[in-house]
């Protein structure tokens, strides 16, 4: 397991007996005696997690299993003691691996004390409570720990692949690679929140990339379209011939309504009707499309609409995640929170 995640210490003893809870901040009041009422969510739509981790058999003998913490090798009992003390002094959070979904979260100790019970010589038991914390601009969420990810693409300087220039997925062992043309989109550094993007140019008809074939159920793209209004149809994500997932209208500021069934479109977490899919114009946004029945994309294209010769895109694309399985809404909300935090959206 890692020692740190995004610079924060990763809890080395996540415990075999761990409880996890989820709570939401809400205001609720009844109106009259008949069951009518008002309920308002005023906290994060991803809620707040908390954990109780029990250590029924915590070794305190140096002859048993050890943990290295800040360069010092110590027993598990001493490690928790040292970690608790340091965090209370410096106020920094730690990273916990969820026993429910194996995802990473920032957390801190609850309460001003921990208590050990010794029931055998140099063998202790304790239970420690943690709660989730958030820091502006910081996310420890790990996309690679999610299931159903077909491809995860982050803008980077192009590097030669096995078949020429390629944009490879970040998922370990994933070969769902997009192939770049001879004059591909240009990597441009430090565009949004210190991060770079792949810059597509509509006037350059080779400024698009082709990829694998798959049925996609969720697509999340961090992007911007550098126009006040669309000058023409622009292809963002499509197949090479028949299916178009995301295409702009030829005027205004919305994506084209293709009348998908069981379809949802969100920009920056806000749900829009299919007839009013607000695009991120001249400002970065998180585009999230969900096809409940999936959309089959053969030989995917980024930056071009199907086989049209006049529907290329002007766009900055920083990150894209594609799923080939439908996902629970709560997981997508957590992923959206991560992307919006990372890209300062």
pLDDT digits (tens, 9 = 90+) for 254-288: 999 999 999 999 999 999 999 999 999 999 999 99
Within a domain: 318: yes
Of 132, 160, 191, the one marking the end of a domain is 132
Task: State residue 61's pLDDT score.
Answer: 65
Domain extent, residue 32, equals: 4-132
pTM over 0.85: yes
- pLDDT for res 206: 77
Mean pLDDT, the chain, rounded, equals 90
Examine residue 151 and state whether it is found in any structural domain, yes or no. yes
The verdict on 202 and 118 lying in the same domain is no
> For position 123, what pLDDT does the model report?
67
Q: Count other C-beta atoms under 10 Å from residue 161's C-beta.
A: 15
- CATH number of the domain residue 219 falls in: 2.60.120.200
Residues of the chain with pLDDT under 70: 16, 60-65, 119-123, 158-165, 182-183
Q: Are residues 217 and 252 in the same domain?
A: yes
Q: What is the pLDDT of residue 174?
A: 83
The residue behind tokens 């990150």 is 319
Neighbours of 229 (CB within 10 A): 14
Distance, CA of 89 to CA of 83 (rounded, Å): 10
Q: How many CB atoms lie within 10 A of CB 268?
A: 16
Q: Is residue 138 part of a domain?
A: no
pLDDT recorded at residue 119: 62
Q: Cα-atom radius of gyration of the chain, to the nearest Å?
A: 24
Of the candidates 109, 132, 155, which is a domain's last residue? 132
Cα–Cα distance, 272 to 246 (Å, whole number) = 14
């Amino acid at each position: 397991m890692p020692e740190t995640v995004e610079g924060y210490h990763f809890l080395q003893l996540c415990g075999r007996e761990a409880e996890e809870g989820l709570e939401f901040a809400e205001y609720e009041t009844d109106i009259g005696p008949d069951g009518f009422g008002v309920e308002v969510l005023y906290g994060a739509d991803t809620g707040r997690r908390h954990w109780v981790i029990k250590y029924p058999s915590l070794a305190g003998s140096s002859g048993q299993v050890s943990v290295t913490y800040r360069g010092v090798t110590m027993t598990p009992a001493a490690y928790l003691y040292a970690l608790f003390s340091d965090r209370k002094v410096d106020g920094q959070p730690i990273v916990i691996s969820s026993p429910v979904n194996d995802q990473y979260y920032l957390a801190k100790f609850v309460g001003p004390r921990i208590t050990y019970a010794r029931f055998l010589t140099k063998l202790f038991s304790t239970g420690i409570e943690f709660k989730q914390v958030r820091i502006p601009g910081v996310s420890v969420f790990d996309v690679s720990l999610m299931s159903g990810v077909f491809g995860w693409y982050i803008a980077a300087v192009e590097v030669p692949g096995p078949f020429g220039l390629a944009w490879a997925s970040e998922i370990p062992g994933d070969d769902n690679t997009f192939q770049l043309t001879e004059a591909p989109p240009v990597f441009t550094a430090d565009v949004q929140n210190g991060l770079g993007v792949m810059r597509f140019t509509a006037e350059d008809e080779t400024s698009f990339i082709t990829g694998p074939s798959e049925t996609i159920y969720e697509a999340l793209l961090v992007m911007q379209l550098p126009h006040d209004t669309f000058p023409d149809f622009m292809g963002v994500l499509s197949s090479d011939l028949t299916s178009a997932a995301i295409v702009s209208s030829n005027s205004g500021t919305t994506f084209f309504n293709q009348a998908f069934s069981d379809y949802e479109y969100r920009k920056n977490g806000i749900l829009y009707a299919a007839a009013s899919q607000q695009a991120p114009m001249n400002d970065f946004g998180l585009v999230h499309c969900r096809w409940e029945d999936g959309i089959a994309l053969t030989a995917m294209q980024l930056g071009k609409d199907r086989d049209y010769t006049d529907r290329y895109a002007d766009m900055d694309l920083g990150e894209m995640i594609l799923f080939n399985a439908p996902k629970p809404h709560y997981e997508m909300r957590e992923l959206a929170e991560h992307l919006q935090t990372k890209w300062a959206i």
